């Protein structure tokens, strides 16, 4: 009887944890698979997201789906954005990690509608490539050899990604990128440089670190959030 009671309770918990809902801004949140960590309240986290970001930066997001998808394995991701939907892994260690994942993927939803503002003048691309060349010099001196032209490619390059992940390792990369990139993942591509900066901007309201490390990116994010703020800088 105790086992049957446990199974019944567990099934009820899973059913309840998979109840979808709509946010105050009309985003549909659907649970393909439940969040196993019961200390993570998705509704509370998404309310926090909607409270932190200006409404116009959420316009592209129509739906959030929690579930396990092949892309997470194939692309070594725990979240991705596609066609108005955020796909998020249910494997979340904390609400802060979930908040980080959602903010990061929202940034990718903005690249199409605001691409001209973000990338057209190439200011953040040049800032990114300057940092890449600095990273190339440091890694070369440490014995990690990869041609310079690979560091000058702003788009995602799987060879480069695997070089950073497997050859250098993120522990060492965290050390050599201090004061150069916001975090090691920002060195992966121009798009991730923007996304990590966007995430940092809304995680840390002080902005001092971002402003010091990536000033051009900071100004773009300031403009993206509120054009009038740039005039006061």
Contact predicate 138/173, CB 8 Å: no
pLDDT tens-digit map of 3-27 = 555 444 544 554 455 589 999 999 9
Cβ within 8 Å of residue 221, ≥6 positions away: 197, 198, 201, 210
- Sign, CA dihedral 195-199-205-208, equals negative
Residue with tokens 């923007």: 194
DSSP letters, 32-92, are SS--S-TT--HHHHHHHHHHHS-GGGGTT--EEEES--HHHHHTT-SEEEETTEEEE-S--
Q: What is the pLDDT of residue 11?
A: 46
Q: What is the pLDDT of residue 4?
A: 56
| CA 53 – CA 73 distance, rounded (Å) | 29
Cα radius of gyration (the chain) = 20
Mean model confidence pLDDT for the chain: 90
* Nearest alpha carbon to residue 205 among 103, 59, 128: 103
The ranges of the chain with pLDDT < 70 are: 1-18, 227-233
CA distances to 43, 47, 71, 204 from 201, in Å: 22, 18, 27, 6
Q: What is the pLDDT of residue 188?
A: 95
Residue with tokens 């998020």: 88
| CA 87 – CA 71 distance, rounded (Å) | 10
Q: What is the pLDDT of residue 185?
A: 93
Q: What is the pLDDT of residue 13?
A: 52
Which helix (H) or strand (E) segment holds residue 215: the answer is helix 215-225
Q: What is the DSSP letter of 98?
A: H
| CA 211 – CA 55 distance, rounded (Å) | 23
């Amino acid at each position: 009887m105790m086992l049957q009671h446990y199974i019944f309770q567990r099934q009820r918990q899973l059913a309840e944890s998979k109840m979808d809902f709509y946010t105050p801004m009309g985003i549909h949140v659907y649970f393909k698979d439940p969040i196993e960590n019961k200390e993570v309240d998705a509704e509370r986290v998404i309310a926090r997201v909607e409270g932190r970001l200006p409404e116009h930066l959420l316009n592209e997001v129509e739906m959030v789906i929690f579930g396990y998808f092949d892309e997470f394995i194939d692309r070594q991701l725990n979240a991705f954005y596609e066609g108005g939907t955020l796909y998020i892994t249910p494997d979340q260690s904390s609400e802060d990690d979930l908040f980080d994942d959602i903010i990061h993927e929202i940034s990718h939803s903005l690249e199409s509608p605001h691409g001209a503002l973000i990338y057209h003048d190439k200011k953040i691309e040049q800032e990114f490539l300057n940092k890449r060349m600095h990273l190339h010099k440091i890694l070369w001196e440490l014995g990690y050899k990869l041609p310079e032209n690979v560091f000058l490619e702003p788009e995602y390059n799987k060879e480069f990604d695997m070089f950073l992940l497997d050859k250098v390792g993120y522990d060492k990369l965290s050390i050599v990128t201090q004061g150069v990139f916001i975090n090691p993942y920002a060195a992966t591509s121009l798009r991730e440089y923007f996304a990590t900066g966007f995430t940092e901007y809304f995680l840390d309201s002080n902005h001092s670190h971002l402003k010091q490390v990536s000033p051009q990116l900071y100004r773009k994010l300031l403009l993206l959030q509120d054009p009038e703020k740039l005039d006061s800088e």
